Amino acid sequence: MSTTTKPVNQKAWWLILPVFLCVAFSAILPLMTVVNYSVQDIISPDRRVFVGTEWFAAVMRDQDLHEALWRQMVFSCSVLAVEIPLGVMLALSMPAQGWKASVVLVIVALSLLIPWNVVGTIWQIFGRADIGLMGSTLLKLGFDYSYTGNALHAWLTVLLMDVWHWTPLVALLGYAGLRSIPDAYYQAARIDGASKFAVFRYIQLPKMRGVLMIAVLLRFMDSFMIYTEPFVLTGGGPGNATTFLSQYLTQKAVGQFDLGPAAAFSLIYFLIILLLCFMLYNWMQAVGTADKTEASHG
Amino acid sequence: MARIDLDLAHAYGPNPKEDGDYALLPLKMSFADGGAYALLGPSGCGKTTMLNIMSGLLQPSHGTVKFDGVDVTAASPQARNIAQVFQFPVIYDTMTVAENLAFPLRNRKVPAAQIKQRVGVIAEMLEMSGQLDQRAANLSADAKQKISLGRGLVRSDVSAVLFDEPLTVIDPHLKWQLRRKLKQIHHELKLTLIYVTHDQVEALTFADQVLVMTRGRAVQVGSAEALFERPQHTFVGHFIGSPGMNFLPVIAKGGQLQIAGQFLTLDAGLHLPEGDLKLGVRPEYVALTAAGAPGALPVQVTQVQDIGTYVLVTARIGEQVLKARLAPDQAQPKAGEQAWFQVLGTHSCFYKNEELLA
């Protein structure tokens, strides 16, 4: 410590007050309200009963929730399994420079600019058997396609919609990664007699790793919270085929007005996301540190 | 291994009209099998273009490239079986050092036992045997560049190994080591090595033959000695040497030279065309001499710098600047004094239109 002590003024704490109030008003109080709901049975505004962890126990045992969670996991993993390779393939086939590159970039980015509910509406019409291009074409080709009647068709349509909407994001990220590879790498690979696949496997993929990790993270989190598009397209149906976690929660809270179980489930949902974030964050940190040691040596 | 003949020109844009449109002006050049060559010139003079044309990364817009008399102008780098090392280390991040070195062989389906043997030999040569199982991504820049060098040398049957300023990223003391290593490798493997650099020391110590280039033009090919003693072009005189050659505008007339208002008598044996010429003399050959000596000029000394191994004297004669490298143990002129500099002698070179007169 230095011999000159800095002047201490505890009044500075007051400066934090506005921020504290804002955060309390927008985040802490609503969250506490949810906590409050989750431990009470509110029968009417005047009659409420403290139930402890009863709602939590009930929600955890809820078969519908288990199914929604499972559906959600399968959906998010499918999204990654399709969008990441597809996005990489798109990025690889995009032109590197010239006016073609600009045109392709704009076209690829187009779907990213469309609001979620509009995407849902577009696909709702696109898939209709009577007037939709895709729906009627599939029917004409002999497929008995119906996203409103067939659970599998509904699920696949939601997946296809997400792929259509978000693969361009992966493609753009991958494209940025590819453009950062110096020409010398490709030249060296040609000199070394590397095949196209070897160039992809040993140059392009390793150099894209960083951006692809971000793509995985973004797509996983986003698809895990998907709500608007299936809500507009299928409303969660048929049956519960496309009822993902957000959908399930909204049905409980707003549809049936089961505020207690809904609040308990919100907290569990929140904890699931927190856990996944924590895992992904640590994974990225670990890879990031490895990169840094490489950089400090290089 | 192969003899390489170039007879070509290259322009990056279509329909080149004037000299400035060419990255490489029309040139003819032969690289003998097993020779060590350097392409020397300032940045942007076309040396990398020339290298990329030889390796097949680039196709010349005009003319041909021949390996052992066979036209390979349209052949890919793979078909030419050429190796090239780039300015910045190129390594495959996900592979170990050994896998990196083996990569060019694996791509060519060389048997595993033979790959192992070659990788061992090259690693030994580059003093990397202890690091073979390390991940290449975690190494220092000069180790990475050694891997790049190793990948260039691992194929024993290459037509030639091309180096594009490979030591740019290397620390000075390691530079010297690696250069010696290359020289040794050339000696052992008898490969044709072509080395691009803008550093004259690097070029002159590495190569038997140096090709000096400027603005897309190959101005002189020769040994270090020829480039130093008889620069074919004023650019070579200027570019090679430290400091470069002195050039004085002179007028030759009736056996006499007029330099900045002074007249010097030429040797009777020397026949120069009359008119405007340039006299080139290396600072190493400018000597202090007695007043009025034949072939000497009175100069005004402006600066005397002790460089350690020699003393650099800068002097003026009229508008012209003349530099001299003098031995540190001899009597030195002082700044502001007048002195007599010997400029004519056996080492004198005369230039007309920047080209050396015979």
**What tens digit of pLDDT does each residue of A188-198 get?**
998 888 889 99
Nearest CA in chain A to B99: A202
Residue A295 has pLDDT above 60, yes or no: no
Which residue on chain A is closest to B108 by alpha carbon?
A193
The predicted pLDDT at position A105 comes to 92
Interface test with B, best of A192, A204, A292 (most B CBs within 10 A): A192
Please say if the pLDDT value at position A85 is more than 60.
Answer: yes
Listing from the earlier edge strand, what are the strands of the sheet with B320-326? B287-288, B338-342, B296-306, B311-317, B320-326
Whether omega for the bond prior to residue B77 falls within 30 degrees of 0, making it cis, is no
Peptide bond into A238 cis (omega under 30): yes
What the block records as the tokens of A54 is: 């009863």
Mean pLDDT of A11-31: 92
Q: Which chain A residues are Cβ-neighbours of B82 within 8 angstroms?
A: 191
Which strand (E) or helix (H) includes residue B62? strand B62-67
Q: Name chain B contacts of A198, Cβ cutoff 8 Å.
A: 107
- Confidence label for A291 from pLDDT (cuts 50, 70 and 90): low
pLDDT range class, residue A292, cuts 50, 70, 90: low
The arithmetic mean of pLDDT across residues B324-329, rounded, is: 87
| Domain range A68-263, CATH architecture | Orthogonal Bundle (1.10)
**pLDDT of A157 above 60:** yes
Average pLDDT score over residue span A214-233: 87
- B138:A294 CB<8 A: yes
For chain A, the average pLDDT equals 86
* Average confidence (pLDDT) over B84-88: 89
* Residue B86 contacts A where some CB pair is shorter than 8 Å: yes
Q: Which of B284, B295, B223, B289 is nearest to B259 (CA)?
A: B295
B136: closest chain A residue by CA:
A294
Interface contacts (A, B; CB < 8 Å): 64
**The pLDDT of residue A290 is above 80:** no
> Would the CB atoms of B137 and A207 count as touching at under 8 Å?
no
Pairwise CB contact (< 8 Å): A184 & B137: no
Q: Averaged over B142-149, what is the pLDDT?
A: 88
pLDDT reading at A60 higher than 50? yes
* Residue A297 clears pLDDT 80, i.e. is over it: no
- Which of A180, A191, A293 should be substituted to probe chain B, the one whose Cβ sees the most B Cβ atoms within 10 Å? A191
Average pLDDT of the residues in A193-216: 89
Of the two residues B124 and A292, the one the predictor is more confident about is: B124
Residue B43 touches partner A, C-beta closer than 8 Å: no
**pTM exceeding the 0.90 threshold for the entire prediction:** no
User: Domain-by-domain residue ranges, chain A?
Assistant: 68-263
CB atoms within 10 A of CB A42: 16
Confidence at residue B6, expressed as pLDDT on a 0 to 100 scale: 87
Contact B148 A188 (CB under 8 A): yes
- What pLDDT is stored for residue B270 in this prediction? 77
Q: How far apart are CA A101 and CA A94, in angstroms?
A: 7
Q: What pLDDT score does A3 carry?
A: 62
Chain B nearest CA to A166, separation (Å): 29
Q: Is B94 on the interface with A (CB under 8 A)?
A: yes
Mapped onto helix, strand or coil, the DSSP state of residue A142 is coil
> Cis omega (within 30 of 0) on the bond before B249?
no
Collect all residues of chain A within an 8 Å Cβ-Cβ radius of residue B86.
Answer: 184, 187-188
Angle at CA of residue B191, ends B216 and B7, nearest 5°: 30
In the predicted structure, residue B189 carries a pLDDT above the cut 70: yes
Domains and CATH numbers, chain B: 4-233 (3.40.50.300), 242-356 (2.40.50.140)
Q: Which residue has the higher pLDDT, B142 or A84?
A: A84
Mean pLDDT of chain B: 87
Backbone angles phi, psi at B24, to 5 degrees: -135, 120
Q: Which helix (H) or strand (E) holds B4?
A: strand B4-10
The pLDDT assigned to A200 comes to 92
The ipTM, to two decimals, is: 0.78
CA-nearest of B338, B247, B259, B326 to B299 is: B338
Residue B24: closest CA among B55, B46, B41: B46
pLDDT tens column, B232-247: 899 998 888 888 899 9
Question: Mind telling me how many Å the CA of A290 is from chain B's nearest CA?
Answer: 9
pLDDT at site A1: 47
CA distance A54 to B287: 105
Higher pLDDT among residues B304 and B44, named by residue = B304
What residues of chain B lie within 8 A of the CB of A195, using their CB? 107
Give the span between the Cα atoms of B11 and B250, in whole angstroms.
Answer: 37
| Cβ(B203)–Cβ(B38) below 8 Å | yes
Amino acid (one-letter) located at B256 = Q
Span A204-221, mean pLDDT?
87
